[in-house]
Amino acid sequence: MKILVTGAAGFIGSALVRALSARHPQARVVAFDIVLPDAPHFIVGDIADREVTTGLIDGDTTHIFHLASLVSGGAEADFEGGMRINLDATRELLEAVRSVGRPPIFVFASSIAVYGGDLPEMITDHTPALPRLSYGTQKLVCEVLINDYTRRGFVDGRSLRLPTILVRPGAANTAISGWASAIIREPLAGRDYDCPVGPHTHMACLSLKRTVEAFMHAAALPTDALGSDRTTLLTGIPVTAQQMIDAVRRISAGRKLGVVHFARDAHLQAIMDRVPRATRSERAARLGFTPSAGIDEIVGDYIATLK
């Protein structure tokens, strides 16, 4: 049993590698990223390099968790880079699987960035995908490819549309939603933070713990349960910036907290004003995916990692 995780040095990827290694101690969990992953079995390389991608897959590969990507703000700023990493590399990875001839379970990290335009406050299974960011377009095309490669028997695909995942440690990345982690992470670290959006700005959120559980649950689902559309929207609870701050204050366990100041960036605020406040998926519930119970659970899970 060989399990490949791309984007394994990233926020979700590194946590997923640890969880897979713990759950499947007899398996060979191979961590791949462009920087060195913290894992026993690792490969470093460029996911968009065809020779590298081809070398990742062999007849022993039973599971692939494809998380490598150039995130939203980065893909919008660098169109060529986003197309190369998010779309072209996914196609090359699927082709590498097809050439081996043994269809593995292929779990893909998609995003609610596939939605755009004049959106309702609550995205559901019936909300049409109409991306307004290049990142969302790339993710949507990959979902369609995975459906078709599954139909043809090349892979057993499963795509998860992720809401905002909290709380990202370390320095912020280029994700447009990066403020939502920083508004929790920075005060808990005793640092002040200038939040670029207003206190009533909403975000559809899911904890890292629940996200890792979702990837492993998706891989374990029987293929017949998914039908011809292999994509599942994950439920993200509605949380405002102010509610995030309040949760930190409630359960900070006596820490000396940094102070959050609101310093709105007009461009970012305009983007955030168009994103959905929450996502709710009856399909995800029917398939057994578990959402976060509330913002206190999300912050509490993060605080537990700091001890």
Catalytic (active-site) positions: 135
31 and 37 Cβ atoms separated by less than 8 Å:
yes
The rounded distance, in Å, linking the Cα atoms of 256 and 249 is: 10
Q: From CA 245, how far away is CA 125, in angstroms rounded?
A: 30
Could you identify the residue written with the tokens 């982690």? 181
Contact predicate 68/7, CB 8 Å: yes
Amino acid at 281: S
CA torsion, ordered 34, 35, 40, 41, to nearest 10 deg? 20
User: Interior CA angle at 206 toward 260 and 199, to 5°?
Assistant: 30
Task: Quickly list DSSP for 168-179.
Answer: --SS--S-TTHH
d(CA 217, CA 159): 12
Q: 248, 258 in Cβ contact below 8 A?
A: no
What are the residues whose beta carbons fall under 8 Å from the beta carbon of 293, sequence distance 6 or more? none
Closest CA to 103 of 156, 65, 152: 156
| Residue 146 burial (10 A CB sphere; 0-12, 13-18, 19+) | buried
CB of 203 within 8 A of CB of 180? yes
Query: What's the rounded Cα separation, in Å, for the pair 122 and 155?
Result: 32
Nearest Cα residue to 169 out of 303, 22, 17, 70: 303
